[in-house]
Amino acid sequence: MLVDVRPTSRLRGAKATDVAATLAPIMAALRDTDSVDLSRLRVVCDWIQYKDNFREQIDVRTILSNGPAGGAPADGDLEIAVDLRRSAEGPLAETTRALLRGYADNGLHRCYLEPWVHTTESCVWDFNALYWRALDLWEKATGRLYEQALPGGESDARNTDAVRELLGQMFGVWDDLAARNSLPEELYVVELGVGNGGQAKVWLDEFRAMDRARGTAYYGRLNYLMCDYSPHVLEQARITVADHEARISALALDARSPTTALGFLRGKIFLVYVSNVYDNLPNEEVARIGGRNYRVESRAYVTADDATLIAEDLGCAVETIRPTVGQLLRLGPALLAETRPDQFPSSEVAVTLWRELWAALRLEERYVPLPGLDMYRIAERVSGEILQPLVESDGDIRMHVNNGAVASFVDTLPLLHPFGRLLCHDLFVTDVQQFQNAFRGPGKYDGSVVNWCNGPLLRHIGGRAGFDVGFARFAHRTGTNIVTMTAQVRD
Amino acid sequence: MVAQPRAPIPGLPMLPTSIVGSYSVPGWLERIKTDFHRHRISANHLTEIEEVAIKAAVKDQERAGIDVVSDGELRRDNDIDYLLARIPEVSIRGQGKDFYYDYYDAELVRPLGSDGQQSLGFAADFDFTRQQTDRPIKFSFTGPFSLSRRLRNGDRPDETELVRSLARLLNVQARELFDAGARFLQIDEPFLAGYPDAVPLAIEAVNIVTDGVPASWGLHICWGNRYARPTWEGHYDFLFPSVLQARVDQLVLEFARKGYDDLQLLHRLGWDRAVGVGVIDVKSTEVETAETVAGRVRRAVEVLPAESIVVNPDCGLRHTPPEVALGKLTAMVAGAALVRAELQPSVVHG
């Protein structure tokens, strides 16, 4: 048996976690459970930092020996996953026994919302997309704007000092190019994920003011392209920056494939600005366990107790929850209310179901062996081969692949002018080892999913494409986890 | 009287096809090369693997129907390190690389020639390729000016002399190559477009390299192909008039990606020798059709004498996936054949 305690920073100090107290009842339960081969067992302890998340206090995962078709779930090693933060909740020994009994009997008493899937294809991402699609209804129901759910209550993208610093650097590059008669007439800047337009307004206000002060007349040559998944969000942002109307264009696009709309600007964009987008794009994880590489697969569920409560609220059988979820995710709460007025007399009632489901949503996981990293596709045009130096560097590891962020990153780099840069404010892991000593998501931010981004992976991908990718802690606010990633052409 | 147009390369058909130098590096080979730099495989194993890859690359070119083939430069990490790492007076800082394609940090620690004018082993590499094919072989190497851009020169600030001394070293290699049977040699200057003021120096150095070596010499100048991206943009007029002094037989240039307007420029500015016309965009993974290639060749034939044209890709195919590279070369050969067939019966010289 192997016991892996990851949150090492929680093991010392005044608020040190008593790992022994957590492990003792689990070991007692294992002592009493003959169905578990202790020689093929791992116990993994995390500290799930997000108050709202997709994990149980304790859960069990199969490490499959072969692919999914290779036999019954029990045909593999076993991992018991423990959330140390919640280890004092309830009788852990009994919970563990019940869990292992249920696992052995193939009866975990869960209402599954989907079969086993690649995590990027899980319905949690449909919930995430629904949140942005029907944000107005969610905000109305909760009574607070989504930005208030962010740490600090607002986006760091609006930080005036940070914007001035960035503009100063960019003006310097432009001045140099202008001196060599190499500055294009049209100056393009792109923002991916515009939110309510607040960052764009701060950026443009500062741009105009600094440009006037310098007398460089760059403002009249500026094309600021606001890009977002949601036309509704774009429209709101346009209103916010109405003062700069002549300089603004708005494009609806998927952040994972910016060149579909911006391909005509290949090699022409001086700044691509991305704030708090990558952490919200579809992600899955890979793991290296005992020298072998695995993909983490998931299936979403709600517990039997939660399912019963939701079914009572709906006035229907538990079995109808899954199709109802499918309808909710496809149609959204407003159309669901129109389609099934008997059960949902108003969109507010549908939003209530949505919020209940989201709160109850959990992810069961298993490890499926990868036949070869090159057979794993991170994103279009990005082979899993590129993960090799990261996963094979040092012992067992489980880490995020951030498939959506990688897709976006890879598709953004070709847009950059040779003197352009990609600037991204987000939650980044900057060293692979950080995956080994702290939980990095997924968590729930309001109605959306949050995952830390795998900075070393992006750095590696950027490096192979000829870009220097650097990370620095966000310098203009203390106590923030936000990191600034910058990508610029090398050589 | 009906005369067959002369080909730019004796013994080859009109509009002969060639590649610029590098051929597709498969992902597995990239991994193996990187593994070597991480000390996971030995130099012996790497050499064996590279030689197998070279055999496959030559075979691919033969299958595509290329007239003048190369070893695909598959022994080379990139356009620079293959040469600099072999020079005794050059020190490589930190032998490891994160990724094989990265450049070494190279520094000249003694004046070039301090250890005598040594063989860098190019002739042996050429000889290996010659054993794999009966077709004519092009052997290309990076020119002295571009090499100097990636070589820190210690406390000797005379960059001009560095370029010249690199040229003298390359001349020694060229003589060895010729003695080994190499008849098609090419100097690549991938960085020159970024330093238009340095063209006279670069051409002076080219002439040092080619001095006394009676091979058919090509000079390849493009807009950069690092990571399949252009490094610079512009027009080829920056080469003139200095390039007219270059003792080379052929300019090998990039057109397919940028368009063919600069052909007129070559004509207008007096280039009267052969031109290797780029008809394959190596920065795109889209495989051109034979008809597309033929259209590009026709553009060249409209401006330049057909007998002065060699048909080749814009630059090396290093970054192109294997199946795409083969497809592109096959289309290139077919496209050239289409235009050749159109020209053969109609070219009449009084």
Question: Which two three-digit tokens encode residue A244?
Answer: 């700069």
Rounded to the nearest angstrom, the minimum Cα separation between A238 and chain B is 34
> Is the pLDDT higher at B81 or at A90?
B81
Domain assignment present for B5: no
CB of A401 within 8 A of CB of A385?
no
Rounded to the nearest angstrom, the minimum Cα separation between A420 and chain B is 13
Rounded to the nearest angstrom, the minimum Cα separation between B271 and chain A is 28
In the prediction, which pLDDT does A81 show? 96
**For residue A105, pLDDT beyond 90:** no
| β-strand partners of A298 | A117, A365
Chain A residues in contact with B102 by the CB 8 A cut-off are 463
Chain A residues in contact with B226 by the CB 8 A cut-off are 466, 491
The answer for residues whose C-beta is within 8 angstroms of residue A175's C-beta and 6 or more apart is: A216
Nearest CB among A389, A460, A465 relative to B227 is that of A465
In the prediction, which pLDDT does A68 show? 63
Number of Cβ pairs < 8 A linking chain A and chain B: 27
In the prediction, which pLDDT does A232 show? 77
Beta-carbon separation of B99 and A463 below 8 A:
yes
Cα separation, B209 vs B143, in Å, equals 8
In the prediction, which pLDDT does A479 show? 66
Domain range spanning residue B248?
A: 27-343
* DSSP letter, residue A53: B
B108: phi then psi, degrees, rounded to nearest 5: -80, 115
Domain assignment present for B9: no
Question: Which two three-digit tokens encode residue B228?
Answer: 């399949």
**For residue B345, pLDDT beyond 90:** no
Q: Compute the CA torsion angle B42, B47, B50, B56 (nearest 10 deg).
A: -130
CB of A462 within 8 A of CB of B229?
no
Smallest CA–CA distance from B321 into chain A, residue? A381
Smallest CA–CA distance from A468 into chain B, residue? B102
Rounded to the nearest angstrom, the minimum Cα separation between B42 and chain A is 18
Chain B residues in contact with A266 by the CB 8 A cut-off are none
CB of B208 within 8 A of CB of B247?
no
Beta-carbon separation of B226 and A414 below 8 A:
no
Would you place residue A182 in the very low, low, confident or very high pLDDT band (cuts 50, 70, 90)?
A: confident
Nearest CB among A385, A389, A466 relative to B27 is that of A385
What percentage of chain A reaches a pLDDT higher than 70? Answer: 95
**For residue A83, pLDDT beyond 90:** yes
In the prediction, which pLDDT does B95 show? 65
Rounded to the nearest angstrom, the minimum Cα separation between B106 and chain A is 14
Rounded to the nearest angstrom, the minimum Cα separation between B99 and chain A is 7
CA atoms within 13 A on the CB side of B141: 27
How far is CA B293 from each of CA A86, A242, A413, B272, B274, rounded to the nearest angstrom? 67, 49, 29, 23, 19
In the prediction, which pLDDT does A189 show? 97
The mean pLDDT value for B169-179 works out to 97
Nearest CB among B31, B98, B227 relative to A466 is that of B227
Cα separation, A250 vs B29, in Å, equals 43
Nearest to B25 by CA among B133, B99, B114: B99
Beta-carbon separation of A374 and B103 below 8 A:
no
- State the amino acid at position B338 in one-letter form: L
Beta-carbon separation of A389 and B98 below 8 A:
yes
Would you place residue B7 in the very low, low, confident or very high pLDDT band (cuts 50, 70, 90)?
A: low
Q: Pairing state of beta strands A483-489 and B90-93?
A: unpaired
**For residue B346, pLDDT beyond 70:** no
B348: phi then psi, degrees, rounded to nearest 5: -120, 130
Would you place residue A155 in the very low, low, confident or very high pLDDT band (cuts 50, 70, 90)?
A: low
**Does the CA dihedral A376-A381-A386-A390 come out positive or negative?**
negative
**For residue B1, pLDDT beyond 60:** no
Rounded to the nearest angstrom, the minimum Cα separation between B55 and chain A is 24
Chain A residues in contact with B227 by the CB 8 A cut-off are 464-466
**For residue B30, pLDDT beyond 50:** yes
CB of B270 within 8 A of CB of B244?
yes
Q: Pairing state of beta strands A222-228 and A248-252?
A: parallel
Cα separation, B191 vs B150, in Å, equals 10
In the prediction, which pLDDT does A332 show? 95
Cα B232 off chain centre by: 18
In the prediction, which pLDDT does B164 show? 95
Nearest to B316 by CA among B140, B192, B148: B140
Cα separation, B125 vs B245, in Å, equals 30
Would you place residue B299 in the very low, low, confident or very high pLDDT band (cuts 50, 70, 90)?
A: very high
The mean pLDDT value for B21-43 works out to 92
What HEC string does chain B produce?
A: CCCCCCCCCCCCCCCCEECCCECCCCHHHHHHHHHHHCCCCCHHHHHHHHHHHHHHHHHHHHHHCCCEECCECCCCCCCCHHHHCCCCCEEEECCCCCCCCCCCEEEECCCCCCCCCCCCCHHHHHHHHHCCCCCCEEEEEECHHHHHHCEECCCCCCHHHHHHHHHHHHHHHHHHHHHCCCCEEEEECCCHHHCHHHHHHHHHHHHHHHCCCCCEEEEEECCCCHHHCCCCCCCHHHHCCHHHHCCCCEEEECCCCCCCHHHHHHHHCCCCCEEEEEEECCCCCCCCCHHHHHHHHHHHHHHCCHHHEEEEECCCCCCCCHHHHHHHHHHHHHHHHHHHHHHCCCCCCC
Rounded to the nearest angstrom, the minimum Cα separation between B186 and chain A is 24
Would you place residue A349 in the very low, low, confident or very high pLDDT band (cuts 50, 70, 90)?
A: very high
Cα separation, A427 vs A439, in Å, equals 13
Cα separation, B145 vs B147, in Å, equals 5
> Is the pLDDT higher at A408 or at B98?
A408
How far is CA A306 from each of CA A109, A301, A354, B127, rounded to the nearest angstrom? 11, 10, 13, 75
Domain assignment present for B22: no
Model confidence pLDDT, tens digit, residues B317-337: 999 999 999 999 999 999 999
Kindly report which listed range (A150-154, A289-293, A485-489) carries the lowest average pLDDT score.
Answer: A150-154
How far is CA B190 from each of CA A339, B234, B255, B295, rounded to the nearest angstrom? 64, 14, 15, 26
What percentage of chain A reaches a pLDDT higher than 90? Answer: 66
Beta-carbon separation of A374 and B99 below 8 A:
no
Cα separation, A234 vs A132, in Å, equals 12
> Is the pLDDT higher at A218 or at A393?
A218
- The CATH number of whichever domain residue B88 belongs to comes to 3.20.20.210
Q: Compute the CA torsion angle A153, A154, A155, A160 (nearest 10 deg).
A: -130
In the prediction, which pLDDT does B350 show? 36
Beta-carbon separation of B31 and A267 below 8 A:
no
Cα separation, B239 vs A120, in Å, equals 52
Q: Which CATH number describes the domain made up of A147-282+379-489?
A: 3.40.50.150
In the prediction, which pLDDT does B233 show? 76
Question: Which two three-digit tokens encode residue A311?
Answer: 């079914």
Best A373, A457, A464 residue to mutate vs chain B (most B CBs within 10 Å):
A464
Rg (CA), chain B: 20
Residues 72 through 131 of chain B touching chain A, CB cutoff 8 Å: 98-99, 101-103
| β-strand partners of A3 | A43
Q: What is the mean pLDDT of chain B?
A: 92
Cα separation, A150 vs A477, in Å, equals 14
In the prediction, which pLDDT does A448 show? 93
The mean pLDDT value for B101-128 works out to 89
Question: Which two three-digit tokens encode residue B196?
Answer: 């238009």
The number of residues making up chain A comes to 491
Would you place residue B2 in the very low, low, confident or very high pLDDT band (cuts 50, 70, 90)?
A: very low
Model confidence pLDDT, tens digit, residues A94-104: 999 999 998 88
Would you place residue B349 in the very low, low, confident or very high pLDDT band (cuts 50, 70, 90)?
A: very low
Would you place residue A71 in the very low, low, confident or very high pLDDT band (cuts 50, 70, 90)?
A: very low
Beta-carbon separation of B27 and A374 below 8 A:
yes
Chain A residues in contact with B231 by the CB 8 A cut-off are 418, 491
The mean pLDDT value for A297-323 works out to 93
- Does the model's ipTM exceed the 0.85 cut? no
Beta-carbon separation of B229 and A414 below 8 A:
yes
Model confidence pLDDT, tens digit, residues A107-125: 788 999 999 999 999 999 9
Looking at mean pLDDT, say which of A24-38, A288-302, A464-478 comes out highest: A288-302
Burial class of A309 by CB neighbour count within 10 A (0 to 12, 13 to 18, 19+): middle
Beta-carbon separation of A463 and B98 below 8 A:
yes
Q: What is the mean pLDDT of chain A?
A: 90
In the prediction, which pLDDT does A156 show? 61
Domain assignment present for B180: yes
**For residue B348, pLDDT beyond 50:** no
Chain A residues in contact with B318 by the CB 8 A cut-off are none
Cα A90 off chain centre by: 30
Nearest to A435 by CA among A174, A46, A94, A148: A46
In the prediction, which pLDDT does B5 show? 45
Chain B residues in contact with A420 by the CB 8 A cut-off are none
**Chain A residues contacting B via beta carbons under 8 Å:** 267, 374, 383, 385, 388-389, 414, 418, 460, 463-466, 491
Overall domain count for chain B: 1
CB of B341 within 8 Å of a chain A CB? The answer is no
Beta-carbon separation of B103 and A491 below 8 A:
yes
Beta-carbon separation of B226 and A466 below 8 A:
yes
